[in-house]
Structure 1
Amino acid sequence: MTAADGVEPSRARALDVPRLVMRVRRLGDLSQRDLARVAGISQPQIARIERSLRGLDVRTLERILGLAGLRLAVVDDEGAEVFPVSDDVIRDNAGRLMPAHLDVRVPTDRPRRLLTDTRYDRAEPQGWYHHRAERDRRRRQLGTTSHVDQPTRPDAAAARRVRHGSTSGRPPDAAIDDCGCLDECWDTRGCASRCSCRCGG
């Protein structure tokens, strides 16, 4: 929708599902019976939706909008689209997501207090994060905000390449974007004994 359609995206506060369904029928030249048939629900259900007597789950709404070449989008107050967090963000060693509200640092960006604390009795962390107080202090110091996304696995691989330069004997960049090697692997010409990636270097 645009201002020419009578709706300004930045001022649209509520999703008017009944009239969106009507818009799909207008764009697609669909009767309620036509829409019901292609959407996989009954005509009386379509009628109740358009009269605000029945709700509609997001998946069904997405399917109905798709019939007219439309899609759902999340926008901010200025009308800019907001995208989901990447599904390839760094996870912890157990495969769990890092806390979404905290700022995660790539493995090579080791916190200063841990620079001399190398632990050989556990796997190398996949990333680092600070709790709120330290997070806020770092944000002020670096001038960053919560809009900066958490790093992804390719981000971590790129940071390793920068850190270790071209002396590591690793494969070309394209071949290691998904590499999960430990930092110590980069100092040899093969995976370290406790590396689970086993790419072979």
Structure 2
Amino acid sequence: MLKVGLTGGIGSGKSLVAKLFSLLGVPIYESDQRAKLLIEHQETIISEIKELLGEQAYTLEGKYDKVFVSQAVFQNEELLKSLNHIVHPRVRQDFEGWLTVQNAPFVIKEAAIMNRNAGLDKIIVVDSPKDLRIKRLLKRDIHRNLAEIEKILENQKSPEEFLEMADFVINNDEKSLLIPQVLEIYKKLIS
């Protein structure tokens, strides 16, 4: 079974592309969703995050305070690295467990943070112009302002870095059609 990564900058349209692949029957591992689940329910992670960021990383009801954490880590590169060091190995382990119950020609691991040496056979990058990504994010993430979004974009790989690791590129601008691009890649991956 091929392990295929699906990545791209925030607001590029990874989730939409993943949904299109899932409609074709491809199992999708959504790293961000799984990370959220682990962050809220795995005691070891909760303890380590509280140790790193303080008790205020979680609400009194025990929910992960995404707004507080985002504001803290996206203004401090070392804190962001430390948080990633807590969460990413657990997500990798969770993905490996998930793989054991899949039965398909290929699976997709959707993740914003991905490297060429991530143990994946192929990588699909969703590419979208920065101004369009910002427009999408301002509409989607109403709790974030433009400065916060630009800070997040600064902390991510550049479009060039994403494209360097791509085996396949899906252009998600306002001119390109997504479905034909997804179908073309799907056909290549099942052949």
| TM-score, length basis structure 2 | 0.26
Name whichever structure is richer in strand by fraction.
2
| TM-score, length basis structure 1 | 0.25
Name whichever structure is richer in helix by fraction.
2
